[in-house]
Structure 1
Amino acid sequence: MAEERQETGKKKGNEKGEVSRNLPRNYRQIGEPGAKKIYVEDYVYTYLNKLAQPENLYARGAILFGKMYKTTIGKCMFISGAAACQNFELDLDETIFSEENWGEIYRIRDSFFPELEICGWFLSRMGFSVDLNDKIIRIHMDNFSGENKVLYMIDALENEDAFYQFENYSLKKQRGYYIYYETNQEMKNYMLAEGEMGRMPERGRRSETIKRDTAVVKNYKKALRKKKSLRPKSAFANPAYVAGGLVAAMVLIYGVRSAVQYQGNQKMQEVFQQQEMTDAKNVTGAQQGEEETDTVSKIETTQNSENEVVSDEKAGSSEISEESNSESAVQDTEASETQTTEKTQQTWGSIGGYYTVKRGDTLAGISKKMYQSYNYIEMIAEANGIDNVDEIYPGQILEIPQIED
């Protein structure tokens, strides 16, 4: 959102030693700036976006030069100078500001921006978003921890940028900022000395800023097409393969259940046979008791009656035993089914596959997610030819090796 202001940019001091200035005449608003407003001069903004172009795959960094001014809307940070810092082109773990680095930074400031202060730094990491992590916070705390010091981040691949400002011992993300346009001979001289002005015609200066979004989207789509062409074809994407796997699984499960049911039926038949034999014995005993009743006295008849009562009690206890055997057979059947299901789950748990990297993923997190352990980071890296375990990017297809039992 662009807004025009008809105010001069003159600077002056007051009795308290504070430097004040009027707001820029022309500026463009990005987002919704908060109470502490940040103004970035257009030459600086264009220079930083050149450092963050999609073909720059390594981390790129720069030192920001500016000053805090008192304005009619409060204190505002004006950034009107920037210089590339070569030690950011390595991994962030190796980014160290030595005395030699600081000596070169102060030499550039004294040569091109003598009236400005070091007000923060810039960082571009292709495909890593503009969110903070422990390494970035550590670098800022060790080198730029002063109050109101800023960090400007760009991810050209995701078309994102963000300003952070150091407040109350922590970095606070700002909701927006301003790009302002005015004569900036100091930055122009630095870019001429660095050879950047040859690629920035004066007539197209503002158009570089306005057309940035279109160029980033075009490069992003090109990168996606290239990444898609290099993506390995997965066997799991074939519908016939998936259908065959499902059928095989169903046949396996059905066969296991059938075997369990067959074993249960055999045990039930054995129980029924034992019951039939017991019933036959009871019938034979009853017939013999009737024959003896015809030949013995009434006293013997009474004794036979008592024997029949005892026989009935034995028959009852036999039935109770048969019911216990039946319940035991059912429990054995259920235990067999449970063991079979656990074996089936163990079989499917060892199958590998592929994983698509998402923003914020690390090999350690992927190892924990896929294997429930951090012990397989090197195995995943070796399977995918990754030399540096920190260099993975969103959308990358990783092969997840199968764990041998």
Structure 2
Amino acid sequence: MIESIYSNEKKGEKNWNNSNIMFRMPKNIRQIGQPDNSRKIYIEDYVMTYVRQLAMKDYSHYKVAVLLGQFIKIDGGKSIFISGAVEAIGVDIETQTAFTNEIWTNIYDDVKKYFDDVEIVGWYVSKPGMTLDTTDQLLKVHVDNFAGQDKALLMYDSIEKEEAFHVFNNNKLCRQSGYYIYYERNEEMQNYMVENKKANSIDAGYEDKAIKEIRHIIESKKENKPEKEQGNVVNLLYAASTVLAVVVLVIGATMLNNYDQMQKIEKTLNTISDYVIGEQKDLPIEEATQMEEEEEKEKVTEVETMSGEIDKLKEEYEKENDSSKKTSEESTASKVDEEKDSSKDTTKDSNESTKKEEESKEDTSQDKETNEKKEEKETTSKQTTAKPKYHTIKSGDSLISISMKYYKTSDYVDEIMAANNIEDQDKILIGQKIRLP
């Protein structure tokens, strides 16, 4: 549920009531800090850029602007949408009447010229080195010129590049812990920025007092740094240096130990090799020759010799040849008989297999017909029972996100638009019920 909740402007000056305006939530939003859920502030990116540039124009005086936008109620929570800003020229915060009638007339002229369907939702103030906490003087200016609950005050420090929002509630300005920046085309704010852009020129030899003040503030901040912080830094550096020295010593000791161990191992290997070589040299000549002969004997293979008559061996060899021929003839004859029997068996088996294949083909054709009939029945039953689907639009929905949710692709956007007579895919309302094709 999104609706405009109230307007604090007078009816005679300008009709700022937005209750009949359809509000569309921005798509691209960036969170700054931790905003309060009960009261949220949304500021457009061009507005934030403009107020930051405004603070850089002149460092010697306060820079003031009036914030424009809408008060919107979203899901029971109040939200302020800031879509424009107009510079309030000539405002003196330190006087009792900071905003004069002439200043207000110039502000309303600029609002009527550049902006439509907006109302004053707060104001902006900046000065170099100012604290982001409110003072009694700022509270008085706010109460005198921006009466009403939930009017916002944006404070900006141009030196530290920091900002803070305050909202008027229960007769005091309460600092907000965060806000949102949203991104839109915002042609109205762009036109105002282009037409009101002025070049900042400084004559040569001009002594800028504002720059002196800024330098003085920066130097005073540096001088006011407590000595404790410097002492802590020195202590940390000393501790770090001692730790590094200890680490270096440990590494050096381990390297020395390893080097000593390597030298010891090398010495033992050298002594062992010298001992082995020395033993071989001390052996007498006779023992050395005996060892060589034994090694050669081990390498020689023994050959057995057989005694007998050569004629007897020939007769035995011829008998063995005759017996082998007879056995080969008998084996060939048996093989021929076996091949005949096997050919008969294969013909019988082939006839039986052809019959079985024909029977199986008939069975499969019948099964296919029954399955096709079942599938036709199931498709007809699904078509009769299927009902059209609907989707209720929620905050943050778009036709693309709905298409991705139900169809896993964005190609169904045109079909959804055609099914619901939607001409523009961005013109959908929260709570609207659309049909899904």
The TM-score, its normalising length taken from structure 2, stands at 0.41
Q: Between Structure 1 and Structure 2, whose CA radius of gyration is higher? A: 2
The TM-score, its normalising length taken from structure 1, stands at 0.44
